[in-house]
Amino acid sequence: MQVPDTPNVSNTLGGDGLVSGVNATASRVRYVLGPAQLTSLSVSSADSVQINGRRAVNYGLTVHGELLWDAVARGNFHDDIAVVANGKAYSVSIIEPSPKSYAPLGGLGEMSCGLFQSEATALAGQMWQPKKK
């Protein structure tokens, strides 16, 4: 029996969900996720960039988002965490800042998770959209 992905899993802070991976390396992988701990409301910027020949998403957080993210990172230090948009897991990776013990992340981050350019661009767009003038 095949179990479908959980609908609207990226739009809720309250529940668990089952989602599929989106990129080429995770296309056959599915993840059981807990409730969202941070949403796009906490993101102040996000851009698809190329670093050392790999596609990545650099992001910035609001002041409130920085506090939330530091609590999430502290609670999940060296554990897996998922970035979900449109009901798909774009990135599932280990929180591994440079130090061996937890330190605040300063409201900035980078996801270098093997995405193709189109996937990184889509993820950055889902994470944050500039305000229209």
pLDDT per position as a tens digit, 62-113: 999 999 888 888 888 778 787 777 777 777 777 765 556 666 667 888 877 6
For the chain, list the domains and their CATH numbers.
9-96+104-127 (3.30.1360.200)
Give residue 1's pLDDT: 47
Give residue 24's pLDDT: 46
pLDDT per position as a tens digit, 1-32: 466 666 665 545 556 666 777 754 445 677 77
DSSP 54-122: EEEEEEEE-HHHHHHHHHHHHHTTTSEEEEEETTEEEEEEE---SSSS----TTEEEE-S---HHHHHH
Q: Using alpha carbons, list the distances in angstroms from residue 95 to 14, 72, 110, 132.
A: 22, 10, 11, 33
116 band by pLDDT with thresholds 50, 70 and 90 = confident
Closest CA to 99 of 71, 77, 79: 77
Give residue 26's pLDDT: 47
Closest CA to 73 of 35, 101, 43: 101
Give the C-alpha separation, 131 to 124, whole Å: 14
Give the C-alpha separation, 43 to 107, whole Å: 9
Q: How many residues does the chain have?
A: 133
The sign of the CA dihedral 28, 120, 92, 45 is: negative
